């Protein structure tokens, strides 16, 4: 995890990947950070829940907050797409980030289902979305294992 965090900070502090336009660059960086922090928050919570198996209401509230935050970010990015603010590579990035938020939202709700009714189906559903989220976020942020 430390390696991923170091790559994350190097990525955002050391490169200019989003756009030559400062506003679009700021949107890209802030959106990327939000995407990554949502991804790590969900996975830290799920890992801790697996280890502790207590205080399920806290984890459900956390997952709902992450889903809500992701929905707001997704909807804001969608407005940029709907108003044709993004073009070229920025447009592709915006679409990919919206898709990643969709997966993170699904992961959050799968986590809630896992907490509320732990069985082989909810475990597999959560693992599926966790894997999709990892692939999606790492692809966008160019994080290698």
pTM of this structure: 0.72
Where is pLDDT greater, at 86 or 133? 133
CATH architecture, domain 2-141: Up-down Bundle (1.20)
Note the pLDDT of residue 141.
82
- Does position 91 have pLDDT exceeding 70, yes or no? yes
Exposure string over 108-123, b if 16+ CB within 10 A, otherwise e: bbbbbbbbeeeeeebe
Mean pLDDT score, 125-142: 92
Q: What is the pLDDT of residues 34-85, one digit of tens each?
A: 887 888 888 787 877 777 766 788 788 888 888 888 888 888 888 888 888 8
Question: Nearest 5 degrees, angle CA 105-CA 63-CA 10?
Answer: 75
Largest CA distance in the chain: 49
Residue with tokens 């976020």: 137
Q: What is the pLDDT of residues 100-121, one digit of tens each?
A: 999 999 999 999 999 999 999 9
The domain limits of the chain are 2-141
- Does position 10 have pLDDT exceeding 50, yes or no? no
Instruction: Give the integer Cα–Cα distance in Å for 11 and 6.
Output: 8
Note the pLDDT of residue 7.
38
- Does position 5 have pLDDT exceeding 70, yes or no? no
């Amino acid at each position: 995890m430390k390696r991923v965090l170091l790559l994350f900070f190097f990525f955002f502090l050391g490169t200019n990947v989003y756009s030559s336009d400062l506003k679009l660059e700021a949107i890209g960086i802030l959106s990327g950070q939000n995407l990554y922090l949502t991804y790590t928050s969900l996975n830290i919570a799920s890992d801790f829940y697996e280890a502790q198996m207590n205080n399920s209401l806290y984890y459900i509230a956390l997952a709902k907050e992450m889903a809500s935050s992701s929905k707001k970010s997704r909807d804001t990015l969608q407005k940029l797409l709907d108003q044709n603010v993004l073009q070229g590579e920025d447009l592709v990035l915006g679409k990919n980030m919206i898709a990643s938020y969709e997966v993170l939202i699904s992961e959050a709700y799968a986590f809630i289902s896992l907490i509320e009714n732990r069985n082989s189906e909810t475990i597999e559903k959560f693992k599926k979305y966790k894997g999709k989220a990892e692939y999606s976020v790492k692809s966008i942020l160019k994080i290698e294992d």
